[in-house]
Structure 1
Amino acid sequence: MIDLLAWQDIQLRLREIFPEGTPNRAQSIWDIAARTVFVMLYVDAVEGKGVWLRPDQVTRMTDAQAAKESPADRAMWEKDSVRPSKSDIPGRWYAVNTRESIRDDTIRNALVANGAVIERQGLPTTSPAGKYALQDGFAALFAPELMGEELSAAIAEWQGKHLTAGARMRIAVMRKGASAGGDRILVTFPSGETQRMAPGPSSELSKAVIEIFAPKFLTEPAVIFLSESRDKVVSRHEELAKQIGLNILADRNLPDIILADLAPAHPRLVFIEVVASDGPVSETRKEALLKLTDAAGFPREHIAFVTAYFDRSRAQFKKTVDALAWGSFAWFASEPEHLLHFDGDGELVWKAK
């Protein structure tokens, strides 16, 4: 049997193994996940060992039992914990009726989905037999003697092998956004021109919008306007704006980015707010921007509004999602292939190429 860490120490390692940006991270690192991993290690439910966990075993663990770490104590509890019993268990970690939540929210939707737990195949759905075990490489990350740089290297190796490409992309984007700093950020426009922006998360997100979002969702993209803040304009393409019928005024209501798709017979405008902290396209912002385009005589049916975020698991999205304007879109740099549409009237006003 594998030597044990306390479940609190397991949780600390889970936070390293599943960094910010990992899909279903909250359910992969919370107390229930740490205790579930502890119980799996306690009974030796590890790939290749022939032992499989039932979710209700997690509910039956107690602090007193967890302190009994000898192989004999652990083997005895593994057998006792799957026997039917109607007697109360003093100090049990969770109530009996939480087993479904442990199974669905923590094991299936988080640990299995992230490659940490394997599921036993071939069992009838009504079988009471154990069904879950730790993936062997994942279990090895909780060896007490594994510490420091050796632990970090082992975690990185496991992530590279077992986290999906999408998960790794999200993690990389989140880390980049969180650590943005130092040298000025070089942004390459669709035209091939370049501009430098002040270092910081907002500039990193603006760079992602221009270099990734624009060519993905616009057929012939062009940057009309780019700012670092309401007061500092990085780029303003006055001539192109006038060619498509937009008169850009020095107005505090201008968004962070204005893109144009020049491919349609009537060019399409895309107003974008980047949210590294706050400031989404709310109803108020949308109406203010529409007043600008109305004054320029630009048809509303050729206008779209997008709020850009690093990731939908971040606090910035959760904090502002209820303020997003109906009919607008949300885009996440960590999942660049997708757009989230807040359907206001049942009609998709703007569709990506």
Structure 2
Amino acid sequence: MLPKYATWELVAERLPTIFPEGIAQRNYCIRELSAKTIFTFLYIGAIEGTDVYLGPIHVYRMTDRQSKMSSDDERLAYRSNMLKKSFHIEGVRWYADNTREPIRDETLREGLIIVGAVVERTDVPTTSSRPRYALNKDLADLFDPALKDSALTQAILAWQAKNLTPSALARVSLLRMGTAGKTGVPVQFPSGDTRTLSPGPSSLISKAVVEVFASRFLKQPGVLWLSESSNKVAVQDVKLATAIGLDIVAKKDLPDLILVDLGPVDPLIIFVEVVATDGAITPRRQRALFELTDKGGFERSQVVFLTAYADRESPGFKKTITGLAWGAYVWFMSEPDNIVLFQEGGGLTPKSAGVLSMNGDELALL
């Protein structure tokens, strides 16, 4: 049986809710090309378990006129005859033939397949033009026009919980935090003290760095400095900074966060820049911060630079990645167990001083 007929506009309206902020390659899942691709899956009944499959040609040969032919007979005729060169389709085509690649490579392989919305046949050679894609059955049910309001919301949440990968669900959950907490963002420091930061995306990332990153990657973490746009000296542990010989003076080159790891024999200083929109650790900032630690008598092997983002899909990361300094690290609060090193020089094994290496759930100097 064919799914109930739904317009591509209805599909487009529901996609941003089904695939919320934080889903990998979200743009490929919610744009118009994706809506029309999913509409075509539904139109021809290419649903998981039916032995009916879609190819990009089904999408780019569709027309506005054909898409409004909603009877089962009309839909089955399109499905049965569309691959025939002699089959005449009424109306203006949605896309040209060269849209085949964006549909296949972006919408399907880099978007819908990654999030579990589409399955691909494995028994069809990669060089074959035979249709090979089917829409997830439970996802198809979400486009039933009769499903509305709270019933639709509950169905979408159930689909997300069942079908999105654990890492994707974690990313969504973390990024949803940005919509909550209008009174402020409470941050609990390793010492047990709590400080409330101004509401906003930067404060949420700072909270994740202090509460999540520090506990995962540092043996005995402490916070020397935490600033925010509304209060440049929100937290400054002068006593701890003085104890390790670091003279912190408020100036424009200081980052958003300065952490210390007291676990190693020689304390490790971690300069952290929090990026919601701009402000990554650049080579110039790196040199300025080295001046601070050089003055304090720290070896450069004791100094680490980290830029923290909400997610790899965030505009701030895409905007600043090209300016990140070599030898610096990148951490995403949506993927808390992973860390990225911008290694300078060749080889797969970092050899420069100050490089961190994974040691269980911690990072230690090489």
TM-score, normalisation: structure 1: 0.93
**Is 1:256–2:261 an aligned residue pair?**
no
User: Counterpart of 2:21 in structure 1: which amino acid?
Assistant: E
Structure 1 residues 262, 45: closer, same or farther in 2, change over 3 A? same
SS in 2 for 1:249: coil
Partner of residue 144, structure 1 = 145
Pairing 1:109-148 to 2, within 5 Å after superposition: 109-148=110-149
Q: Determine the structure 2 residue equivalent to 1:314.
A: 314
* Superposition map of 1:274-353 within 5 A: 274-346=274-346, 347=350, 349-352=354-357, 353=363
Quote the Cα distance in structure 2 between the aligned partners of 1:312 and 1:16: 20
Contact 2:66 2:89 in 1 (8 A): no
Please say if residues 180 and 201 of structure 1, whose CA atoms lie closer than 8 Å, have aligned partners that are also in contact.
no
Question: CA deviation digits over 1:216-239, x for unaligned, max 9?
Answer: 121221111112237432322222
Contact 2:65 2:91 in 1 (8 A): no
Q: Which moved more, 1:1-10 or 1:131-140?
A: 1-10
Residues 63 and 89 of structure 2 are in contact (CA less than 8 Å); yes or no, is this contact kept in structure 1?
no
Give distance in 1, aligned partners of 2:93 and 2:23: 30
1:230-249 pair list within 5 angstroms: 231-249=231-249
SS in 2 for 1:144: coil
The 10-residue stretch of structure 1 (230-239 or 215-224) with the greater mean CA deviation from structure 2: 230-239
Structure 1 position 49, deviation (Å) = 2.4
Task: Give the secondary structure class of the aligned counterpart of 2:356.
Answer: coil
Match of residue 103 from structure 1: 104
RMSD: 2.1
Matched, 1:210 2:215: no
Alpha-carbon offset, residue 343 of structure 1: 2.3
Cα distance between partner residues in 1 of 2:26 and 2:74: 33
User: Separation in 2 of the partners of 1:245 and 1:86?
Assistant: 80
One-letter code aligned to 1:130: P
Q: Are the counterparts in 2 of residues 180 and 204 from structure 1 also a CA contact under 8 Å?
A: no
Q: Contact 1:60–1:89 at 8 Å: present in 2 too?
A: no
Distance 1:249 1:321 in 2: 28
CA drift of 1:89 comes to 8.5
Q: Which moved more, 1:223-232 or 1:167-176?
A: 223-232
> CA deviation digits over 1:50-103, x for unaligned, max 9?
211122211111112111111111111111112245999862222223323312
Tell me the CA shift for residue 120 of structure 1. 2.6
* Farther-moved stretch of structure 1 (121-130 vs 43-52): 121-130
**What's the CA shift string for 1:89-137, capped at 9, x where partnerless?**
8622222233233122211221111111122343344444321111111
Alignment map for 1:27-66 (pairs within 5 Å) = 27-66=28-67
Deviation at residue 337 of structure 1 after TM alignment: 1.4
User: 1:190-229 residue pairs with structure 2 within 5 A?
Assistant: 190-229=190-229
Question: Once the 2 structures are TM-superposed, how far is the Cα of residue 330 of structure 1 from its aligned partner?
Answer: 1.6
Cα separation, 1, equivalents of 2:116 and 2:282: 38
Alignment partners' CA distance in 2, 1:59 and 1:148: 32
Cα offset for 1:317?
A: 1.3
Identify the residue that residue 13 of structure 1 maps to in structure 2: 14
Query: Contact conserved, 2:257 with 2:271, CA < 8 A, in 1?
Result: yes
Once the two structures are superposed, residues 13-57 of structure 1 have per-residue CA deviations (whole angstroms, 9 ceiling, x without a partner) of: 111100110011111111221111011111011123221112221
- Three-state SS of the structure 1 residue aligned to 2:272 is strand
Structure 2 counterpart of 1:293, which letter? T
Question: CA offset at residue 146 of structure 1?
Answer: 1.3
Task: Give secondary structure in 2 for the equivalent of 1:232.
Answer: strand
Please identify, of 219-228 and 96-105, the stretch whose mean Cα deviation from structure 2 is larger.
96-105
Q: Which runs of 5+ in 1 are unaligned?
A: none
Question: Could you say if the C-alpha distance between residues 342 and 87 of structure 1 is closer, same or farther in structure 2, counting changes exceeding 3 Å?
Answer: farther
Q: Secondary structure at the match of 1:250?
A: coil
Match of 1:57, as an amino acid? Answer: H
**Number of the residue aligned with 2:360:** none
For structure 1, which segment, 129-138 or 113-122, has the greater mean C-alpha deviation from structure 2 after superposition? Answer: 113-122
CA distance in 1: counterparts of 2:167 and 2:87, whole angstroms: 45
**Alpha-carbon separation, structure 2, partners of 1:88 and 1:146:** 31
Deviation at 1:200, TM superposition (A): 2.4
**Does the 8 Å CA contact 2:66/2:90 hold for their aligned counterparts?**
no
Q: 1:94 to 1:74 in 2, by over 3 A?
A: same
Percent identity at matched positions? Answer: 44
**What amino acid sits opposite 1:193 in the alignment?**
D
Aligned AA for 2:300?
R
Q: Distance in 1 between matches of 2:270 and 2:230?
A: 18
AA in 2 matched with 1:48: G
Q: 2:4 is matched by which residue type in structure 1?
A: D
Task: Name the stretch that deviates more: 267-276 or 290-299.
Answer: 290-299
AA paired with 1:227? S
Partner of 1:171: 172
Taking structure 2 as the reference length, what is the TM-score of the superposition? 0.90
